[in-house]
């Protein structure tokens, strides 16, 4: 019984998180400006991280959590770099 509840709730959560990723993808494509795209990329990183955590819950290995940490780290560095670029890129132009 509890196995079924867990299985279905994690599956539903994964579907919902996947839908969230698609919605952020819409904003990534639609823009309209560069800062909107960077913001949606950042949100997408977070959703991907949570998705990996749910995969880790299902399988029960540590590897997924380490990948989630790595994604969080890369997302942070990437967004900071892009934000800095948005700030400075215009000054140089």
Partner 1 sequence: MSFDDVPLWAALLISACVLVGAFLTFVGAVGLARMPSFYQRIHAPTLGTSFGAVGVLAASAILSTIGEDRFIAHEILIFTFVSVTTPVTLMLLARAALHRDRVEGSSDVPAVVERPVDQ
Minimum CB separation of residue 69 from partner 1 in Å reads 6
Residues that bind partner 1 (CB under 8 A): 1-3, 5-10, 12-14, 16-17, 19-21, 23-24, 26-27, 30, 33-36, 38-40, 42-43, 46-47, 49-50, 53-54, 56-57, 60, 62, 65-66, 68-69, 72-73, 76, 79-80, 83-84, 86-87, 90
Minimum CB separation of residue 79 from partner 1 in Å reads 4
Minimum CB separation of residue 90 from partner 1 in Å reads 6
C-alpha 32/C-alpha 35 separation (Å) is: 8
Q: What is the CA radius of gyration of the chain?
A: 17
CA atoms within 13 A on the CB side of 71: 19
- Four-point Cα dihedral 21, 54, 71, 33, nearest 10: 10
Cβ contact 54:66 at 8 Å: no
């Amino acid at each position: 019984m509890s196995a079924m509840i867990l299985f279905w709730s994690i599956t539903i959560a994964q579907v919902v998180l996947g839908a969230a990723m698609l919605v952020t993808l819409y904003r990534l494509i639609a823009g309209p400006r560069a800062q909107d795209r960077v913001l949606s990329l950042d949100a997408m990183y977070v959703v991907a991280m949570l998705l990996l955590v749910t995969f880790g819950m299902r399988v029960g290995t540590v590897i997924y959590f380490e990948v989630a940490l790595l994604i969080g780290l890369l997302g942070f560095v990437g967004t900071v770099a892009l934000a800095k670029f948005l700030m400075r890129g215009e000054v140089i132009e």
